[in-house]
Structure 1
């Protein structure tokens, strides 16, 4: 680590030296030293750096191996182990607010964004590109409309773009709403786990979701010119508030380019571990105030923008007008925004 300046280190490993040291205190004891065929001993910290270098580049194992001066086989064995160790920290670093104080503070933070009440999280699905799917999996299920393989990953964020919940196991062809309806988080909301003293907690989602009793979606795009002042206020507040999860996607994928360049692992489980591990690292960066995301090169920036554009096109095509009534959306509109509009 001493070989590089702080800026050089961050550009190569996407984290600051202090954050890497903190990560080492969390998982270092579980990473046994490895003696390579050439007699070189890799410490637990070396293993972490090799894994982070992959997250930062998504390069072939041989490229990562040459960067660190070890064999390709060593890299192939190290990345799954370290990724599993980091992903195992998810219960500590990725969790929904549960007690009254946490829930109330989460709602207040969202309200400060654009005046949207009772919001406890912003939900979205994002496509994580993979090179291909091996084994007995049905490859066509992972194939997106833009002709690449992907994992559709469900993310819930708070107002500070911190991950509250993640589901990383569904093929890229599966719709966001299907993932949500089959998630543990859906069951928790259905059971009223986040409601307190008759005060409801709700999620914000885009037009790809039906409006449940606990998930508010945008108003339909029809009759925009005939909207009431309250409807205009609701729509603007919804868009501005839900933008936090879009901001997370940008921060997450720019910090860890492996998420949009495309991962290539023999086992799908390793890919899923990497997705969760990078989300854990994102939250750790929030805790350590490691908020400076190293810039991409000009070529990387162009490729990233192209990847974002392709995903946006896919998502827009997968968001037909919902037939279900906007139950909670209408409730928030009538009980809050109509009153506010009337006061004005």
Structure 2
């Protein structure tokens, strides 16, 4: 009887010692931006890990340690055996459990993924360890909507914002500056706020959200500055093209006129042209030039034979 009790006690003590020799390490807190991948670090060590040929069961749980695992996998601790595919739609192991790595990869984290996680490992279904860690998801402020509500009393501008951490909301009037009175803000979810101010439709008002990780703003009515800029740019381009066309046309006409006008040469200017020198067709046209000749007073009678002189004339 005594021998049996001693055997049982030694087995229990040996089991406790073996269990105590299984240890785990996890990340204290993992911080990730919304939309990015997050790795929840988890690993374990065991004294007989190199010689252990049993199964390794990996489990990950969320929110509470007592809930059903949302991710689990089993491996045979034999290097010659492929661990196989152990992944889900958004989750997969990031590491090899046969090497003591149990980290979890979450693809494209969302705000709802934030919270506590529990990494659990079992060896042959007997030795078990579990540790918890926290995932924090950061999100810059985002204005989901800014709308004019005219079916309530009073009429209002209502702004809905999302972000983590939750941002501070301020209202700015184009004519009155910062609005402090009659600002109503309330929380409508873990990561969303709604805020409104009375609005008569005669002013431009901006909803602005700010936090440690960023800011966002939106105005009502929307700015038409982009439309104005596009119109102004189109008009400027049209004017430049029109001016360029006019300049080219004027230059073309000037060069065309110059090509039909020839400058007088010295020979043509100095020699008299008689009737026999009349220009041929399609050449420079010579026009008759009349001149009055004044002779000095003399008793001699001078007989002049009339003749026609031609000279080149530049027409402008």
Structures share fold, TM-score greater than 0.5: no
- The normalised TM-score by structure 1 is 0.22
Structure with the greater alpha carbon radius of gyration: 2
* Larger relative helix fraction: 1
- The normalised TM-score by structure 2 is 0.23
Q: Work out which structure has the larger RCO, using CA pairs closer than 8 Å and 6 or more positions apart in sequence.
A: 1
* Larger relative strand fraction: 2
